[in-house]
């Protein structure tokens, strides 16, 4: 910082008086106070680390797809990115250190409760969660449904470990902290920053496993983050965070919800097994418009007769399931997942079932969230 000193009415070289010393001390203190205030004005961002590729390491720089996930602790992640200090006052906390395919409902609940607690602290302005990409979209949607805050919550990962050539994690994390520290990200629900894009945690999905532009939404990104600046193009319209009727502080356990996959020559073994396992809802990942094979219809109807909610989703990446198209949902008392992919339909079903077991209420929730 350049400090301009006002010209005193006396010469320091010729006057070692106490007045001169007091003047100089005052100038120095004023300059230090200015620096301190500038630092104090930076937003406070907490990085919650859960593991994943962004914390991974490969055997060599050439390994971009073969590596061990969840190896680098959060303090080393942050220490390797000193540029974060220019954006915010950043602190880190290691919540888990796992590959995200191993995330369980218990992990979701613990993480959600920690995010909720931090969001209530006056000295926290934004929260970043580092996460493996395999189930990142599920965690982001869960937080979007259950954490009541308008403060920015950003979930971020990487497709390549930090040891790889052209690793993407450092820039993704820098962008995540930048978005979490910005006031214009408030109130937009839980966000995902990958590959310079700002995505809605509700809409985004992992669409490819070997490219850095892996996360896409059929409805497009909310915006872009470039060199620490946000550029917004749309905003979410589905209910989330502060407008949600669900609150992580009230959820102690999540009911069992599973997914069965539709395919040619499908049999009912999976449907029957999940019914015997005691699931509360079964998401059917159907072909096309959530189509159900003729040989599977009776098995699903039987489960519904036992009180299990049947949710028709689609295995195709884009589009949405139309109610009473392909199957008479009203007649069978089934629910359609709208535009949610099977893995996200499962998340919403679990959360919704903590409040209601009425199929009409569940359908309302799938329309609104």
Distance CA 53, CA 172 (A): 12
Active site residues: 53
H or E stretch at 13:
none
CB atoms within 10 A of CB 147: 28
H or E stretch at 94:
strand 89-98
Reference 350, options 203, 201, 187, 139; nearest CA is 139
Q: Euclidean distance between the first and final Cα of the chain, in Å? A: 49
Q: What is the DSSP letter of 181?
A: T
Tokens of 165: 């050539």
Helix (H, G, I), strand (E, B) or coil at 41: coil
- Using CA atoms, how far residue 256 sits from 106, 116, 271, 311, in Å, is 12, 23, 14, 14
DSSP secondary structure letters along 213-248:
--EE-TT--SEEEETTEEEE-----S--GGG-S--G
Distance CA 255, CA 127 (A): 27
H or E stretch at 348:
helix 342-353
Residue 84, CA atoms < 13 Å, CB-side half-sphere: 28
Distance CA 335, CA 365 (A): 10
Please say whether the beta carbons of 52 and 128 come within 8 A: no
Tokens of 180: 């979490």
Distance CA 284, CA 313 (A): 6
Please say whether the beta carbons of 82 and 120 come within 8 A: no
């Amino acid at each position: 910082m350049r400090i301009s000193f006002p010209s005193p009415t006396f010469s320091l070289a010729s006057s070692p008086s106490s007045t001169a010393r007091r003047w100089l001390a005052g100038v120095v203190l004023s300059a230090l106070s200015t620096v301190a205030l500038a630092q104090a004005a930076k937003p406070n961002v907490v990085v919650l680390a859960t593991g994943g590729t962004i914390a991974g390491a490969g055997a060599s720089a050439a390994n971009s797809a073969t590596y061990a996930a969840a190896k680098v602790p959060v303090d080393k992640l942050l220490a390797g990115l000193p540029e974060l200090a220019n954006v915010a006052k950043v602190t880190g906390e290691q919540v888990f250190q796992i590959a995200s395919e191993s995330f369980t409902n218990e992990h979701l609940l613990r993480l959600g409760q920690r995010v909720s607690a931090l969001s209530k602290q006056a000295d926290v302005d934004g929260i970043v969660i580092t996460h493996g990409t395999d189930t990142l979209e599920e965690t982001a949607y869960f937080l979007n449904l259950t954490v009541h805050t308008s403060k920015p919550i950003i979930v971020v990962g990487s497709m390549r470990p930090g040891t790889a050539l052209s690793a993407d994690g450092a820039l993704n994390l820098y962008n995540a902290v930048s978005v979490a520290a910005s006031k214009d990200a408030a109130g937009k629900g839980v966000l995902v920053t990958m590959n310079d894009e700002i995505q809605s945690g509700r809409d985004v999905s992992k669409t490819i496993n070997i490219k850095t532009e892996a996360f896409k939404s059929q409805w497009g990104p909310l915006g872009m983050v470039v060199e620490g600046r946000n550029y917004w193009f749309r905003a979410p319209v589905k209910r989330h965070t502060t407008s949600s009727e669900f609150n992580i502080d009230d959820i102690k356990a999540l009911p069992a919800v599973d997914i069965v996959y539709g395919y040619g020559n499908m049999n009912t073994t999976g449907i029957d097994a999940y019914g015997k396992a005691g699931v509360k809802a079964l998401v059917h990942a159907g072909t096309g418009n959530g189509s159900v094979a003729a040989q599977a219809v009776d098995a699903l109807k039987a489960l519904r007769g036992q009180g299990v909610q049947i949710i028709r989703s689609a295995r195709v990446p884009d589009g949405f399931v139309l109610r009473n198209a392909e199957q008479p949902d009203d007649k069978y008392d089934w629910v359609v997942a709208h535009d949610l992919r099977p893995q996200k339909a499962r998340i919403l079903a679990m959360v919704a079932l903590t409040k209601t077991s009425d199929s009409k209420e569940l359908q309302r929730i799938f329309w609104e969230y």
